Structure 1
């Protein structure tokens, strides 16, 4: 994988620190709340649930809840903590299932649930996490939260199904790709922002703007994640990389590469995606570097961030606006850190 300069790694870390330092009390409250949920699971699976509900992830979706519903420094609202736990549990469930389908060995710098408990056990564990998320959502005094979370969960899972059915095929257009990631990733970003702003009592227009911000930030983040699968380093990213080509997943880096290859090389790449020949990751990385694929995909990230920025910049006096926009700066720093040298 491409080397990342120490200065660039420090820049990303500083960008994260500047944003998430504000959320330390919120994340501490979330940790306490999630730890308290372990006892809700049956005794036989509590250790499995505890394994997944760890504190080492970036927790971007809970951060979007807290920032979308920002009420000032040190103000930790119990309703936001609960809904942040809901979206985090949904996200963790999708990760458990993703790692099974990708055959991933490492997640958050340790063995995936599938490797720790077996694929069959991990599937059911993911289901249990989904179910508990909806249980928590149903405890709000109105049905709005549960309705929003259940609909989003259905959309997220639908995106994963569509992507799974397209694995091992080259029948994935750019439009198909964006449709899939809008469902499987951006939807949970969107609903996190929506619920934060809605529970904070923001004006309907601002709730809509924040939701749109979350959607496009989510698309940008998934494109970045797909880029990192080829240009990242496992030690820095904290999960198994290079799995997309091996699992026949046609993401934007491979789509952009295929568009720039000769007919012969296109046929070879298609055979790798279909599983008709062994994936040659080293060759694909070399071709991506030679044909400028990184720049093309990075520009797609920037385009989505521009739309996200536009969605909320008309609301400069709302407290969450500058905090949400700082997340765009974090993601830009992450993309820059991946850039080949």
Structure 2
């Protein structure tokens, strides 16, 4: 991971001073580095002992960071990881362009790796992430959206990169297709579990401990599983409330508290976390073909970490 961090810091440099300055604001701030960790651990799990996985882990982090920069502009977010977002400090134009720069750096790393299969996996994931974000934009503020559409969004915007990050670990180790598929399943289901917990946490007081403000998704009118469950289980008056605050974006003082009350009444948050645990179990099943050892234990521990954030 230290080698990966060195690669990240080296590759985000540019003679255009604003680029490393803005990139460092987000990258050097830390974060969990969860996605590159998945690549490193998956490659080691598959017995790889070279250096390619380090550069590819950096590549995965650049893809993730680029999407964060673009997302914060789209969502008009003012905070990221407990501090002012890049767009709040540097402006939307600079954030979008530096996001583009990081995407370009990621593709340079893919090409330098020399594997067409790695290039295919990570390019496909990048396109799927963009599709997921656009679909989220389409269904945003629409209470008639279905759980299937919501799941399609999170499979695109979150699970795709988790799956790609783990799958390339098997590819660099030249492991059989079955192992690559198993790691893909692990990453895909972990990504869904991770996003489900994130969406539940947006309505939790614990969100403040994670450096985020409570109710960001609510204020933006985002359709997430807690909203869908509370809406589906509500009476006509409650449905009218959700249409007003989500579709019409007419939100006043006390509306977030009322949303939380309705979610508690209909067990929307508990059931979202239960769904996350189910996907976590599916992720663990993806590790079944691999021998016990520290890498497998670490990957299993990541699943527990993702779910435990909700406690």
Q: Which residue of 2 aligns with 1:6?
A: none
Q: Which residue of 1 aligns with 2:181?
A: 208
Match of 2:91 among 106, 113, 118: 118
Q: Which residue of 2 aligns with 1:129?
A: 102
Which is further off, 143-152 or 313-322?
A: 313-322
Aligned CA distance change for structure 1 residues 232 and 266 (closer, same or farther; 3 Å): same
**Does structure 2 retain, via aligned residues, the 8 Å contact 1:70–1:319?**
no
Question: TM-score, normalized by length of structure 1?
Answer: 0.85
Q: Does 1:161 align with 2:134?
A: yes
Which is further off, 75-84 or 314-323?
A: 314-323
Q: Which residue of 2 aligns with 1:141?
A: 114
Deviation of 1:317 (Å): 4.5
Which is further off, 146-155 or 178-187?
A: 146-155
Looking at both structures, which has the greater relative contact order when contacts are Cα pairs under 8 Å and sequence separation is at least 6?
A: 1
CA distance in 2, matches of 1:284, 1:276: 13
Question: TM-score, normalized by length of structure 2?
Answer: 0.93
**Does structure 1 retain, via aligned residues, the 8 Å contact 2:129–2:156?**
yes
| Deviation per residue, 1:67-104 (Å, 9 max, x gap) | 1111699x974211100111101101111122122222
Match of 1:289 among 264, 273, 279: 264
CA distance in 1, matches of 2:115, 2:292: 29
CA distance in 2, matches of 1:83, 1:28: 14
Which is further off, 127-136 or 176-185?
A: 127-136
**Does structure 2 retain, via aligned residues, the 8 Å contact 1:87–1:133?**
yes
CA distance in 2, matches of 1:206, 1:284: 43
Match of 2:146 among 167, 173, 182: 173
Q: Secondary structure at the match of 2:109?
A: helix
Q: Which residue of 1 aligns with 2:77?
A: 104
CA-based RMSD of the aligned residues comes to 2.1
Q: Which residue of 2 aligns with 1:224?
A: 197
List aligned pairs for 1:76-91, cutoff 5 A. 77-91=50-64
CA distance in 1, matches of 2:99, 2:273: 32
Q: How many residues align?
A: 309
Which is further off, 113-122 or 315-324?
A: 315-324
CA distance in 1, matches of 2:44, 2:106: 22
Deviation of 1:276 (Å): 4.5
Q: Which residue of 2 aligns with 1:67?
A: 41
Aligned CA distance change for structure 1 residues 267 and 71 (closer, same or farther; 3 Å): closer
Match of 1:254 among 222, 227, 231: 227
Deviation of 1:274 (Å): 1.3
Aligned CA distance change for structure 1 residues 232 and 214 (closer, same or farther; 3 Å): farther
Aligned CA distance change for structure 1 residues 241 and 127 (closer, same or farther; 3 Å): farther
Q: Secondary structure at the match of 2:251?
A: coil
Q: Does 1:193 align with 2:137?
A: no
Which is further off, 150-159 or 52-61?
A: 52-61
**Does structure 2 retain, via aligned residues, the 8 Å contact 1:313–1:321?**
no
Aligned CA distance change for structure 1 residues 232 and 222 (closer, same or farther; 3 Å): farther
Q: Which runs of 5+ in 1 are unaligned?
A: 1-26
CA distance in 1, matches of 2:223, 2:93: 26
CA distance in 2, matches of 1:251, 1:232: 17
Q: Secondary structure at the match of 1:249?
A: coil
Aligned CA distance change for structure 1 residues 40 and 136 (closer, same or farther; 3 Å): farther
Q: Which residue of 1 aligns with 2:282?
A: 307
**Does structure 1 retain, via aligned residues, the 8 Å contact 2:133–2:157?**
yes
| Deviation per residue, 1:1-39 (Å, 9 max, x gap) | xxxxxxxxxxxxxxxxxxxxxxxxxx2111111111132
CA distance in 2, matches of 1:307, 1:327: 13
**Does structure 1 retain, via aligned residues, the 8 Å contact 2:125–2:160?**
yes
